[in-house]
Each structure stands twice: as C-alpha cells, then as structure tokens.
C-alpha cells in the first residue's frame, strides 16, 4: 500500500501511534480513517463552541432530539457534541419512566418543564417520541393514549417553534444485524452491560413492530417546520460527524470558514 506524505505524517503523529496501540489487528487504512475522524471531529467541536456562544449572546433557545432504536448510538453522538461546550449553558435530558404524579398530567407537561430558557441548549436522549414508538410497541401506553399523542404532537411542536425554540429532530437508523452486534458488545463489557435493559432484551424479537410504528411516526410527524433528519448510524464515526454537521448548518449562527462535509 503506497502512502502519501500526508498519510505518513498522520500515522507518525501521537494520535496515529495511539490508534495502533488501542486496537488489535489495526490496519493502516482503518488507523488513517480513525485519525482523520478525530481531526475532523476536533474542527467541528471548535465550531460548536462558536455556535454555543452565538446562542448565549443572542438569547436563542435550541432543542435537539435524538431518537432511534436501542444501541443506535444516540448517547455517543450527544457526548461528542457536548464534550467541549460550556456545561452551564446546556443540558442533556434523558427522562426516566414517569412517576405516578406525572402519569396523571398532560403527556407533554414533563417535557415542557425541560425546554430551554433564553441562551440555552437542550439535548434530548429520547424525547416525547417515546409515545410514538417505544411505548406502544412495549405496551407502556394504551391505544387511546397513543392516538391522542399522534393527534397533538405536530401542534405541540408548532407551538414551541413559534415561541422561539429552534428544533432539530434526529433519527439514528441502524440495521438489525448491527443492533445485534452492538448488544453483544454491550453485554460483554463490564463497563457497559448495565445499559442492557429489559426493553433492549426484546428489541430484536420486536424489530418488525418497531419498524411499523417508526413508519407511522415518520408519515405523521415529518412536517415542513419540524422535519426528521435520518442519520445512517451503522458507522458511529460517520453518524457523529453528520449530526454535528447538520446542527451547524441548521442553526443560523455566524458561520466560520469551515467546510461542513466529511472526507
């Protein structure tokens, strides 16, 4: 394999050597790809800092939703996006199952309580769209509750957008085989196996049910003012870069001289 001077320089850097040491059977091409990803990610994270400063200085309100199947990489993408942001100016929201008191409230109420104030950004690791897919598939809501949600969600989003919130909706899409592979890796890891929940245990057997409700969700809620952005997430690195790119392209902050594409 003939390498360009630029590629050789990348491999001889600290990052390149680290990649070889971290991974068994690391190939030159894979190492180069990982090093290029880390370099690209650093550029994008710098740009995210500029975006956050614009949000704060202009009293903007930003909400970014991350949806997708279990193990699709939503949490990892959020961590990469927020890694170097000022923690006082953003929140990551991953709500647990509702309390008895919350069950008696309007469904959207506990999510409204998490919406950002001026100058803040909120990232939802799963959102109100639990009721569109996860809850009906697993029997956590009634058909009536599901129908009410689907009738109200577009109007709810229209209202929060008209109130000044900039809303971005991501759906991380992975294949059934990739999900199974990631589940095996999670269960084999002492540091990650706690993530494997009872809902995860049934995800593969309920794959087609998830697909059915996912399709219904897209058909109903992919609106002009709040469209779904589908991120192909079988490759985690690509998914993370694409989601950051989209945030940077969508929020109308003062752009810097950065090519928002992945090479």
In eight-state DSSP terms, residue 108 is: T
Number of separate domains in the chain: 1
Q: Which of 217, 260, 218, 257 is nearest to 241 (CA)?
A: 260
Q: Which of 221, 249, 251 is nearest to 67 (CA)?
A: 221
Q: Is residue 186 part of a domain?
A: yes
Could you tell me the residue range of the domain that residue 103 belongs to?
Answer: 59-250
How deeply is 224 buried, as exposed, middle or buried, from its count of CB atoms within 10 A (0-12, 13-18, 19+)? exposed
Question: Do residues 134 and 125 lie in contact, with contact meaning Cβ atoms separated by under 8 Å?
Answer: no
CATH of the domain at 145: 3.40.50.300
Q: Which pLDDT score is estimated for 14?
A: 61
Q: Is residue 226 part of a domain?
A: yes
CB-CB neighbours of 67 under 10 Å: 24
Q: pTM for the complete prediction?
A: 0.88
Q: pLDDT (tens digit, 9 = 90+) per residue, 113-170?
A: 999 999 999 999 999 999 999 999 999 999 999 999 999 999 999 999 999 999 999 9
Spell out the alpha helix ranges (H) of the chain.
5-12, 14-22, 28-57, 74-82, 100-103, 109-112, 134-138, 143-162, 176-188, 198-203, 207-221, 236-250
Q: Is the pLDDT of residue 231 over 60?
A: yes
Q: Is residue 35 part of a domain?
A: no
Spatial separation of the C-alpha atoms in residues 45 and 244, rounded to whole Å:
8
At 258, the pLDDT band (50, 70, 90 cuts) reads: low
Q: How many CA atoms lie within 13 A of 146 on its CB side?
A: 17
Q: Is residue 72 part of a domain?
A: yes
Q: Which pLDDT score is estimated for 1?
A: 53
Q: Is residue 33 part of a domain?
A: no
Q: When comparing pLDDT for 262 and 73, which is higher?
A: 73
Q: Is residue 54 part of a domain?
A: no
Spatial separation of the C-alpha atoms in residues 194 and 238, rounded to whole Å:
26
Q: Which pLDDT score is estimated for 19?
A: 54
């Amino acid at each position: 394999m003939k390498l360009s001077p630029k590629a050789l320089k990348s491999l001889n850097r600290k990052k390149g050597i680290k990649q070889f040491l971290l991974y068994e059977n690391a190939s030159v091409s894979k190492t180069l790809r990982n090093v290029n990803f880390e370099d690209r990610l650093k550029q994008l994270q710098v740009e995210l800092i500029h975006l956050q400063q614009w949000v704060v200085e202009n009293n903007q309100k930003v909400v970014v939703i991350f949806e997708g199947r279990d193990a699709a990489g939503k949490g990892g993408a959020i961590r990469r996006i927020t890694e170097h942001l000022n923690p006082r100016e953003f929140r990551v929201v991953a709500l647990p199952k509702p309390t008895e008191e919350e069950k008696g409230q309007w469904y959207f109420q506990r999510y409204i309580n998490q919406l950002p104030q001026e100058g803040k950004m909120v990232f939802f690791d799963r959102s109100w769209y639990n009721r569109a897919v996860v809850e009906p598939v697993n029997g956590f809501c009634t058909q009536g509750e599901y129908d009410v949600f689907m009738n109200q969600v577009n109007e709810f989003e229209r209202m929060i957008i008209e109130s000044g919130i900039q809303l971005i909706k991501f759906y991380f899409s992975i294949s059934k085989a990739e999900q199974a592979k990631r589940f095996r890796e999670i269960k084999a890891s002492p540091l990650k196996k706690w993530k494997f929940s009872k809902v995860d245990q049934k995800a593969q057997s309920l794959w087609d049910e998830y697909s059915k409700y996912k399709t219904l969700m897209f058909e109903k809620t992919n609106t002009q003012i709040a469209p779904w952005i589908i991120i192909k997430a079988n490759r985690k690195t690509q998914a993370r870069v694409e989601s950051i790119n989209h945030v940077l392209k969508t929020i109308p902050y003062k752009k810097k001289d950065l090519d928002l594409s992945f090479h």
